Amino acid sequence: MSGRSAAWLAGGSVAAYVVLATVGLTLELRAPEVQLPGDEESLGALDVAFGVVLLVFTLVGALVASKRPSHPVGGSCSRSAC
Mean pLDDT score of the chain, rounded to an integer? Answer: 75
Three-state secondary structure string covering the chain? CCHHHHHHHHHHHHHHHHHHHHHHHHHHHHCCCCCCCCCCCCCCHHHHHHHHHHHHHHHHHHHHHHHCCCCHHHHHHHHHCC
**Chain segment 55-74, per-residue pLDDT in tens:** 888 888 888 877 887 777 77
If pLDDT is split at 50, 70 and 90, which confidence band does 78 have?
A: low
Assessment of whether the complete model's pTM goes beyond 0.85: no
Domain count of the chain?
1
- Residue 32's pLDDT is what? 61
The range of the structural domain enclosing residue 62 comes to: 3-80
- Residue 40's pLDDT is what? 60
